[in-house]
Structure 1
Amino acid sequence: MVRHINRRKFITISGAAGIVSVAGCIGEDAVEDDEENGDDEEDLGDADPDEGGEILSWDAGGTGGTYYPLSGDFKSIVEEHTPHGLQVQSTGASLENVGRLHREDSEFALIQNDIAYFAYNGTGIDDLEGEPMENIRGVASLYPETIHVVTQADSGIESVEDLEGQTVNVGDAGSGTEVNAMQILEAAGIGEDDFDVQTGDFDTATDQIRDGDIDAAFVVGGWPVGSVEELATTSDISLVEVSGDVREAAMDSAEWFAEDTIPGGTYEGNDDDVETVSVQAMIATHDGVSEEIVEEITTAIFDNTDSINQKSDFIDVESAQDGMPIDLHPGAAAYFDEQ
């Protein structure tokens, strides 16, 4: 049974917009595009297992977010402490990744826990109704994924409500970022017809802000997000708060958003704390992966958290089951039971 989660203690499910054909074909075009473009920075797509090990496919996210460099940390740990090789793939992140896990196209993935819940239960999103992805399993919760609303410092946009009539990048089409962005805009009373919708990954979005092609962008990831950090070093940017009535409305309508804050000084030129909301990142797998392999991977990561460079303050054994919205894989359960 899926465990029940206290909304104020754990971060789990956000509300969502529709997804097209999730169970059968999420992200297949995106996967093909990534492969054609050779999107394997730092050779994270290369895997060279030791004798007796396996090549394990690990789906991350766009190279400008947190999932990709964090997956690089996991790759280094796994390949040092197990015989297996991780083949890290840049993808459209959560929604694409749950579809790939469901089809058993990959062994592991990083996903948002709100998307994990909807996919596993076949609910919460119109196109998932009655189509549960019951083979998806949880491994561990990792860190809060913070909602960033980024704009140029001189844009005049000071609140989410000011996005009405603007050109806004809401993240990759079909991504968890898009889901979260549309939910927050709806909480501010802004519908799809009330602004010019643009889609694209985090690098694309920050380039568009730098070039003045859009007015604002939603970026979801553990701060500091690399693409936003880079943008702030070359352009004057501002972070728009998700606070007050909008935050309360978002948390009421998508009650699994949690309050969060981007600390002042995280991004150059932004010295004040910024109130916002977050979901949570997690590692997922599927029930076709052996218990032995999942336990080996889980053990390697959580016995060596001191080798993690991204979001290391949040990732540890004690919090690894906070907000877990789906059934654990037996291999992960075996490790955490021992702890």
Structure 2
Amino acid sequence: MKLGVDMTEQSTSTADRRSVLAAGAAVTATGIAGCSDLLGGDEDILSWHAGGTSGTYYPLSGDFKTIIDSETEYALEVQSTGASTANAGSLGDEDADFALIQNDILEFAYEGEGIDDFDEPIDNLRSVATLYPETIHLITTADSDIKTVHDLEGAEVNTGDLGSGTQANALQILEQAGIGEDDFDEGNADFAGAADELRDGNTDAAFVVGGYQVGAVEELANDIDIDIIEISGDFRDDLQEEIEYFASDTIPSGTYDGVDEDVETVSVQAMIATHEDQDEEVVEEVLEAIFNNLDEIGERADDISIETAEDGLPNVPQHPGAESFFEDN
């Protein structure tokens, strides 16, 4: 599915493009979202776009909300979205003040290339800080005949929400395996929906991209016997040569019930992003609150640190407020 504008319409602007992407995000306010009425209107509200409620972005954003609400003059309004690709559109349109996003997707959006969803640069995007590796899980049931990526040809495969970073990565991996869009049946659901389809026997495999343990995968593994397909060996080498931002990763044995051996795979990097018009002081205060209170974070706490927060930044300008924060710390 391509969210791009009709390039024959010469009047279409970058701002129009951003609006289309933002509209495609289907952003929904959710349970942990701040509400201006409940807050009494005294705080300055910052809109923070996360991801699906069954992934890692959403609960981690809830941790950030707790910290920022208590440590700054701001109140964070967390929204559930279609994740990385949708969030790039929301930031570009300045409907979001901050968002969690994959490093590769942020660069694609900034440059206007790399995946079909970005056919014009969204050049007001700015990087802030990297957080943790987002591990690519390729999940099947334990009794499935699918044992390698190449076995997905002809299968029903859930590639993630339309427009999500998960979908982008899944399609890149399938393409590397020589599996084109006409060579498999694509389903599009969030992590919880994909888990339900596997549980009910309505799909053959599903891609999930998130910091392990992903809640939806953990729950699925507690309900049924699952298998996580390796992305390894020569295939991984070729994939990394073709797509340089894929890093080698391993899902440790015991991460999920019944997965009793290490699973070799690849990962991208989760990060915080904003837009160029965001106030420098706001960015600094948000980063100071987060990195001075890492002990309050439950999601991916062992992987988030100020020492690694500039590792893996994409080829996107860093916001001046972030630059100042890291220079001082």
Q: TM-score, normalised by structure 2?
A: 0.92
* SS of alignment partner, residue 137 of structure 2: strand
Tell me the distance in 2 between the aligned counterparts of 1:187 and 1:120: 24
Q: Quote the offset at 1:55 in angstroms.
A: 0.5
2:232 paired residue number:
243
2:79 paired residue number:
89
2:169 paired residue number:
180
Query: Superposed, which structure 2 residues align to 1:208-247 within 5 Å?
Result: 208-247=197-236
Query: Superposed, which structure 2 residues align to 1:101-250 within 5 Å?
Result: 101-126=91-116, 128-129=118-119, 131-250=120-239
> What is the percent sequence identity of the aligned residues?
56
Aligned counterpart for 1:279 among listed residues 265, 268, 274: 268
Query: Superposed, which structure 2 residues align to 1:303-318 within 5 Å?
Result: 303-318=292-307
User: Cα distance 1:89–1:166, how it changes in 2: closer, same or farther (>3 A)?
Assistant: same
**Long gaps (5+) in structure 2:** 6-16
* SS of alignment partner, residue 301 of structure 2: coil
2:26 paired residue number:
31
User: Cα distance 1:75–1:335, how it changes in 2: closer, same or farther (>3 A)?
Assistant: same
Deviations 1:191-244 (A, max 9, x none): 111111111111110000000000000000000001001111111111011112
Deviations 1:69-104 (A, max 9, x none): 000000001011001110000000000000000000
Asked whether the 8 Å contact 1:50–1:83 carries over to 2, the reply is: no
User: Which letter does structure 2 place at the counterpart of 1:105?
Assistant: D
Tell me the distance in 1 between the aligned counterparts of 2:258 and 2:302: 24
Aligned counterpart for 2:328 among listed residues 315, 318, 338: 338
* SS of alignment partner, residue 147 of structure 1: strand
Asked whether the 8 Å contact 2:157–2:184 carries over to 1, the reply is: yes
Provide runs of 4+ in structure 1 moved above 6 Å: none
Does residue 76 of the first structure (1) align with residue 66 of the second (2)? yes
2:309 paired residue number:
320
Tell me the distance in 2 between the aligned counterparts of 1:194 and 1:226: 30
* SS of alignment partner, residue 219 of structure 2: helix
* SS of alignment partner, residue 220 of structure 1: strand
User: Cα distance 1:329–1:275, how it changes in 2: closer, same or farther (>3 A)?
Assistant: same
Tell me the distance in 2 between the aligned counterparts of 1:314 and 1:19: 33
Q: TM-score, normalised by structure 1?
A: 0.89
Deviations 1:121-162 (A, max 9, x none): 223235534x22121111100000000001111112111111
Asked whether the 8 Å contact 1:27–1:95 carries over to 2, the reply is: no
User: Which letter does structure 1 place at the counterpart of 2:281?
Assistant: E
Greater relative contact order (Cα 8 A, min sep 6): structure 1 or 2? 1
Asked whether the 8 Å contact 2:25–2:90 carries over to 1, the reply is: no
Q: Quote the offset at 1:27 in angstroms.
A: 4.6
Q: Quote the offset at 1:30 in angstroms.
A: 3.9
1:9 paired residue number:
none
Tell me the distance in 2 between the aligned counterparts of 1:49 and 1:134: 33
* SS of alignment partner, residue 205 of structure 1: helix
1:54 paired residue number:
44
Asked whether the 8 Å contact 2:46–2:74 carries over to 1, the reply is: yes
Tell me the distance in 2 between the aligned counterparts of 1:289 and 1:94: 19
* SS of alignment partner, residue 299 of structure 1: helix
Tell me the distance in 2 between the aligned counterparts of 1:73 and 1:279: 21
Cα root mean square deviation, aligned: 1.7
